[in-house]
Amino acid sequence: QEPLTASMLAAAPPQEQKQILGERLYPLIHAMHPFLAGKITGMLLEIDNSELLLMLESPESLHSKIEEAVAVLQVHQMSESSHKSA
């Protein structure tokens, strides 16, 4: 698969750009967290496209961001289950 570039991304409509980035991120995230991959990818897709492109080129920063997302999710899930509203 050819590397994704900013110009390739810019050629796509905005909504499509996130999908394209997600398609690149998902397999990488899936390799680390198969069960959370869809959720983590969705969280990372809220980051700026330019930053996501940098992450795709830098496995280390991508990995640390993935771990950050997992941590955020875990805290979120704990607080959700402790609230027990509704």
Partner 1 sequence: RKSTLNPNAKEFNPRSFAQPK
Q: Which residues bind partner 1 (CB under 8 A)?
A: 19, 22-23, 25-27, 30, 38-39, 41-47, 65, 68-69, 71-73, 75-77
CA distance 36 to 19: 17
CA distance 32 to 28: 7
Amino acid at 69: A
Least distance (Å) between residue 18 CB and partner 1: 8
Give the nearer residue to partner 1 in terms of CB position, either 58 or 77. 77
Give the nearer residue to partner 1 in terms of CB position, either 7 or 79. 79
